[in-house]
Amino acid sequence: MRTAVAVLFLAAACGKGSATPEPAPQHRDAGTVVPDADPNRLEGAALYKTFCAQCHGDDAKGYKSDHAPSLINPTFLASASDEYLRRSIVFGRPGTAMAGYGSEVGGPLRPEPVARIVTWIRSHGEPAQPLAAVGGGDPTRGASVYQKNCKVCHGDQGVRGEAVHLANPQFLAAATDSFVEYAIVHGRPGTRMEPWQGKLSAQDIDDVVAFVRTLASPLQVGQLPPPTGKEPLVINPGGKDPSWKLRGDPCPPGAPGCDPEPRFASADQVKQALDEKRKVVIIDARPPSDWMHVHITGAASIPYHDLKRLDEIPQDVWVVAYCACPHHLSGVVVDELRKRGHKKSAVLDEGILEWHRRGYPVVAAPGVQPPPKEPAFAPGTIP
């Protein structure tokens, strides 16, 4: 299954010489979601399953979808403070598949459920340890070291890599220099992120940290008004049905979680249907905070964790659901539609991030720009 843009909890630089690759992304599994549950009544494990496991995996070891890293990697938990975890959940990583789940930004979780998720994650490892202060680094020297050893995995401000995108402004707002340095020094065991202690000098590492800090850009804090739940569902109600050809999962027959049944509509086909004024429902399956950041023009917010509005959709209208993963959360919505007998349902194959990159019609909050380009190499084939 194709994966798109990163979910960014874990920070470090990675190198060409890393030993063990991350596990291959798994196929979508909607069974971890607790739809329409009141998050304020869920305990930590159930909250994690509903709001995190779709990308980070039921076991929190990561790489289920869209580069989402392990949340229980020992060197991550040793260096990530509870405040770092809290801020990452609340504000997410705009421009990636990691939504902001906090009520402060329009997400579904108040501070108490967020704290329960942090506690659940923390229960899988030791408390965060005090981190040493970072010495003075030279970002100009660091740029050269980063270009040689880190960019291939982590990208830059214009192009993201397969690993954590260090230029994301919300990541840089949450991560301290000490956190970044610890990741470089100790790596992430069991992943491509090798420990660089002994391979780079202490000064080189300080210089890289200083350079990473220069990748920061202003936070995109603009937001659209929150969805009311009353937005029209059917676009072009007087139009004809769209005419498109869906594809199935490109995976071996019988593979666990594989769904060869046609369910994916390409962005080009959906764009053409809108241009031709075809009758269609477009569902934004992400948390409302992401809809308030940017959404496809005419899309209704029906989050994968709150599906009550699905009952309002006419059975005779084609429905396309999208997310940023780009198949996991939207796949949950399409699964639910098909369980309800709604056969005219599909997933937007490339997801909202690629749609936005192509300049297709969106409604965006002030200051929101298209996300960085995808890497030129195929997923899982970092040179």
Amino acid in the structure at residue 224? L
Report how far residue 383's alpha carbon sits from residue 317's, in angstroms, rounded to the nearest whole number.
45
Per-residue model confidence (pLDDT) at position 221: 67
DSSP assignment string, 283-347? EE-S-HHHHTTEEETT-EE--TT--GGGGGS-TTS-EEEE-SSSSHHHHHHHHHHHHTT--SEEE
User: Which CATH class, in words, describes the domain spanning 1-220?
Assistant: mainly alpha
Give pTM, 2 decimals.
0.85
The correct CATH number of 234-364 out of 3.30.420.40, 3.40.1110.10, 3.30.1360.120, 3.40.250.10 is: 3.40.250.10
Is residue 114 within 8 Å of 287, Cβ to Cβ? Answer: no
Report how far residue 310's alpha carbon sits from residue 313's, in angstroms, rounded to the nearest whole number.
6
Peptide bond into 256 cis (omega under 30): no
- Give the percent of the chain with pLDDT over 90: 71
Domain boundaries, the chain: 1-220, 234-364
194 contacts: CB under 8 Å, gap ≥ 6: 14, 15, 17, 18, 19, 187
Residue 10 pLDDT > 60: no
pLDDT (mean) for 90-106? 94
Across the strands, what pairs with 243? none
Per-residue model confidence (pLDDT) at position 63: 81
pLDDT in tens, 176-220: 999 999 999 999 999 889 999 999 999 999 999 999 999 988 776
Helix/strand/coil for 282? strand
pLDDT (mean) for 254-269? 81
Task: Report the chain's mean pLDDT, rounded to a whole number.
Answer: 87
φ/ψ of 85, rounded to 5, equals: -60, -45
Across the strands, what pairs with 296? 362
pLDDT (mean) for 102-121? 97
pLDDT in tens, 151-170: 999 988 888 878 888 999 99
List Cα–Cα distances, 370 to 53, 159, 160, 295, 343, in angstroms. Answer: 26, 11, 12, 12, 32
User: Which of 125-139, 268-282, 339-353, 361-375 is predicted with the least confidence, judged by mean pLDDT?
Assistant: 361-375
- The backbone region for 236, taken as left when phi is positive above 0, alpha when psi lies in -120 to 50, beta otherwise, is left
Per-residue model confidence (pLDDT) at position 253: 64
Report how far residue 198's alpha carbon sits from residue 132's, in angstroms, rounded to the nearest whole number.
18
